[in-house]
């Protein structure tokens, strides 16, 4: 089978790998679709991110869906031919954090396509993937492309749960990449009354508008647009900060109400925070990292028609054009979510 393997920055190759039979409690999946994530792009463009660097060739990818082609022993609830979304989250279930219900903080997490440990954890961008049956969520009624969006949608659902009560709240989202736009869908499904999205690019903001944002603001061309929301100590109840850019966070603080909540999703490096302003307003700053049980929720929301991710899938390229797909995904002026068709 062929797999998408990163060797170093800008050194992406299609390579042959041996297919494996499923073991006990496992299934073999013929991959249909894989979405290129921001972390995949960090490996492709920079050879890693922060202190995390590639030390050996690694198969990329963790946003995937496919059809089951073989069942290992002791697998129930799944059948050959089922379309499944595959969660890349594989906590150990035995560490201190797993035991207290925090599997996303598992000390022994094996998350597809990660260079954090060494040897690296190989990813899911391969024509056949052997996965645990409990990673697979049946995705009938969805296309493979939609099913592959369960992973990034799960990230946003986890952040929405961390934000607390969203029903009837006014929401500001900074950064209109795939996570920012999916946060529009997650916040809307949770009952947000109003959603405003900011970004530096009109092309990205157009996608936020497609999925239901009441207003989009280009803070590059209209840097003072948030000023109207500063009256009366602020307007917004919840901020989903998805850009990872310190200026976006600092610029949003004056528009936040006292005792509002900031959900930090963007990972752009360390930030200098306006702590005095945040303290005076009693603002809660909360982190959001990965997900676990939200994966099945994401599939159900899509199946119920409560989260339409289709408008965000901007391009689908065949496996043979994987390098071109990564180049396209790196260009925010052209792409939102680029997916690779493996079948």
* Upper half-sphere CA count for residue 182 (Cβ side, 13 Å): 28
With respect to residue 109, please indicate whether it lies within any of the assigned structural domains.
yes
pLDDT digits (tens, 9 = 90+) for 300-327: 999 999 999 999 999 999 999 999 999 9
d(CA 216, CA 226): 11
With respect to residue 179, please indicate whether it lies within any of the assigned structural domains.
yes
- Assign 202 a pLDDT band (cuts: 50, 70, 90): very high
Tokens of 245: 């850019």
- Can you tell me which residue has the tokens 């073989």? 70
pLDDT digits (tens, 9 = 90+) for 28-70: 999 999 999 999 999 999 999 888 999 999 999 999 999 999 9
d(CA 304, CA 308): 9
Helix (H) or strand (E) run with residue 185 in it: helix 178-189
Residues 79 and 179 in one domain: no
Tokens of 82: 């089922």
Containing domain of residue 274, as a range?
Answer: 154-287
* Upper half-sphere CA count for residue 150 (Cβ side, 13 Å): 33
With respect to residue 292, please indicate whether it lies within any of the assigned structural domains.
no
Residues 67 and 17 in one domain: yes
Residues 208 and 272 in one domain: yes
Which residues partner with 86 through β-bridges?
64, 136
For 47, the 3-state DSSP assignment is coil
What are the b/e assignments for 150-165, b being 16+ CB within 10 Å? bbbbbbbbbbbbebee
Residues 106 and 178 in one domain: no
Residues 269 and 283 in one domain: yes
Residues 118 and 48 in one domain: yes
Residues 89 and 31 in one domain: yes
DSSP string, 225-265: GGGGG-GGG-SEEEEEE-S--HHHHHHHGGGEEEEEEEEE-
Residue 46 sits in a domain whose CATH number is 3.90.180.10
Residue 204 sits in a domain whose CATH number is 3.40.50.720
Residues 100, 103, 109: CA angle, nearest 5 degrees: 130
Of 62, 12, 11, 18, nearest to 36 (Cα)?
62
pLDDT digits (tens, 9 = 90+) for 125-176: 999 999 999 999 999 999 999 999 999 999 999 999 999 999 999 999 999 9
Global pTM reads: 0.95
Q: Kindly state the percentage of the chain with pLDDT values over 90.
A: 95
d(CA 161, CA 127): 34
With respect to residue 293, please indicate whether it lies within any of the assigned structural domains.
no
């Amino acid at each position: 089978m062929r797999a998408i393997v990163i060797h170093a920055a800008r050194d992406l190759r299609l390579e042959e790998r041996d297919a494996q039979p499923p073991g006990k409690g496992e299934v073999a999946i013929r991959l249909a679709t894989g979405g290129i994530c921001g972390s995949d792009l960090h490996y492709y463009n920079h050879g890693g991110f922060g202190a995390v660097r590639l030390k050996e060739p690694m198969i990329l990818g963790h946003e995937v869906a496919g059809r089951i082609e073989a069942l290992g022993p002791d697998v129930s609830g799944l059948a050959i031919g089922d379309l499944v979304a595959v969660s890349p989250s594989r906590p150990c279930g035995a560490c201190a954090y797993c035991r207290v219900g925090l599997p996303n903080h598992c000390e022994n997490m094996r998350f597809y396509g990660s260079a954090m440990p060494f040897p690296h954890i190989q990813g899911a961008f391969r024509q056949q993937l052997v996965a645990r049956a409990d990673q697979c969520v049946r995705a009938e009624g969805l296309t493979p492309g939609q099913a592959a969006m369960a992973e990034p949608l799960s990230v946003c659902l986890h952040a929405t749960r961390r934000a607390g009560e969203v029903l009837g709240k006014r929401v500001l989202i900074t950064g209109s990449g795939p996570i920012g736009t999916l946060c529009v869908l997650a916040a809307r499904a949770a009952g947000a009354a109003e959603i405003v999205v900011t970004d530096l690019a009109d092309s990205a903001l157009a996608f936020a508008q497609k999925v239901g944002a009441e207003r989009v603001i280009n803070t590059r061309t209209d840097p003072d647009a948030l000023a109207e929301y500063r009256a009366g100590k602020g307007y917004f109840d919840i901020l989903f900060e998805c850009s990872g850019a310190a200026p976006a966070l600092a610029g949003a603080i004056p528009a936040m109400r006292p005792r509002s909540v900031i959900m930090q999703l963007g990972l752009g490096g360390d930030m200098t925070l306006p702590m005095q302003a945040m303290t005076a307003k009693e603002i809660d700053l909360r982190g959001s990292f990965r997900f676990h049980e939200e994966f099945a929720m994401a599939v159900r929301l899509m199946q119920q028609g409560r989260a339409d991710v289709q408008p965000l899938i901007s391009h689908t390229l065949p496996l043979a054009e994987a390098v071109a797909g990564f180049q396209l995904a790196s260009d925010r002026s052209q792409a939102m979510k680029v997916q690779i068709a493996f079948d």
